[in-house]
């Protein structure tokens, strides 16, 4: 059976769990990371030398990097659904996953860590403020795209919506100012109807 290492409150683990939920895959999840430890043991580092979660073991095939895992599972079990059958839709979805890593996450991470995982007296609010400017501009880019297409891979939900859906959950649930973005709101409302997102992505931020 597919094994997944990682704590449920990690955004990167949530991407994999949400993908498994969409694909109807059964798996065995082992808590790892932060208070659970495990990820610094020699056995774990032999699987992932970075000591980070998530990691999967699929019948002896070890894989880390959450987007690589989502792509692997989508291509193996979800061609035509999570992995769009049309090459250009797949490339579109793939591009948004890369954009999350290179462009959105570097601004979201400091905002999330300061506002959720740092005591108020230790927060770097100057950093939060400057990252919020970038984050808002990036969600504006998504809003513009979603005015022209229902999902990030085109007209249907796909792997491209998973990382950004989880980022959007943080955007809507952090104590921050958000300008009006009607198309983003409508896309997010569609995601919120998906049982796998409700189960794996919509837990209180910790």
Ligand X SMILES: N[C@@H](CCC(=O)N[C@@H](CS)C(=O)NCC(=O)O)C(=O)O
**What does the alpha-carbon distance between residue 111 and residue 129 come to, in Å, rounded to a whole number?**
8
Order of strands across the sheet that contains 2-5: 27-30, 2-5, 55-58, 61-64
* Segment holding 61, helix H or strand E: strand 61-64
Cβ distance to ligand X smaller for residue 38 or 150: 38
Cα 53 to the center of its chain, rounded Å: 13
Omega cis (within 30) before 54: yes
* Segment contacting ligand X by CB under 6 A, of 51-59, 127-135, 176-184, 198-206: 51-59
Tokens of 29: 């999840």
| Window of 6-14, 87-95, 121-129, 197-205 that interacts with ligand X by CB under 6 A | 6-14
Angle between helices 11-23 and 66-77 (to 10 degrees): 0
Min separation Cβ 191 and ligand X, Å: 19
- Asked if residue 114 binds ligand X (CB under 6 A), the reply is no
CA-to-CA distance for 88 and 95, rounded, in angstroms?
10
11 is a contact residue toward ligand X (CB under 6 A)? yes
Task: Give the range of 50-58, 80-88, 122-130, 143-151 binding ligand X by CB under 6 A.
Answer: 50-58
Options 34, 116, 192, 202; binder of ligand X; rule CB under 6 A: 34
Half-sphere exposure of 72 (CA within 13 A, CB side): 16
Query: How many residues at the interface with ligand X, by CB under 6 A?
Result: 12
- Span near ligand X by CB under 6 A; candidates 23-31, 60-68, 119-127, 187-195: 60-68
Tell me, what DSSP letter sits at residue 154? B
Give the pairing type, strands 27-30 and 55-58. Answer: unpaired
Q: Which CB, 117 or 129, lies closer to ligand X?
A: 117
Q: Which residues contact 72 (CB under 8 A, 6 or more apart)?
A: 58, 63
Nearer to ligand X, 53 or 132 (CB): 53
Kindly identify the residues of this chain, within the stretch 138-197, that bind ligand X according to CB under 6 A: none
Where does this chain touch ligand X (CB under 6 A) — which range of 31-39, 70-78, 137-145, 180-188?
31-39
Q: Does 33 bind ligand X (CB under 6 A)?
A: yes
List the one residue from 52, 63, 146, 168 that touches ligand X (CB under 6 A).
Answer: 52
Nearest residue to ligand X on Cβ basis:
33
């Amino acid at each position: 059976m597919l094994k997944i290492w990682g704590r449920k409150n990690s955004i990167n683990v949530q991407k994999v769990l949400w993908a498994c939920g969409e694909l109807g895959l059964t798996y065995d999840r082992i808590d790892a990371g932060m208070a659970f430890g495990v990820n610094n043991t020699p056995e774990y580092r032999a699987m992932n030398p970075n000591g980070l979660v998530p990691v999967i073991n699929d019948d002896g095939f070890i894989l880390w990097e959450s987007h690589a895992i989502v792509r692997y599972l989508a291509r193996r079990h979800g061609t035509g659904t999570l992995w769009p059958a049309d090459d250009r839709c797949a490339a579109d979805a793939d591009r948004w996953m890369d954009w999350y890593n290179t462009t959105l996450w570097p601004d979201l991470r400091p905002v999330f860590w300061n506002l959720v995982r740092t005591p108020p007296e230790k927060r770097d609010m100057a950093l939060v403020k400057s990252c919020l400017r970038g984050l808002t501009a990036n969600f504006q880019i998504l809003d513009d795209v979603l005015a022209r297409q229902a999902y990030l891979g085109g007209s249907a939900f796909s792997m491209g919506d998973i990382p950004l859906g989880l980022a959007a959950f943080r955007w809507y649930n952090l104590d921050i100012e958000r300008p009006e973005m009607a198309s983003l709101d409508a896309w997010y409302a569609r995601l919120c109807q998906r049982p796998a997102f409700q189960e794996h992505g919509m837990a209180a931020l910790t």
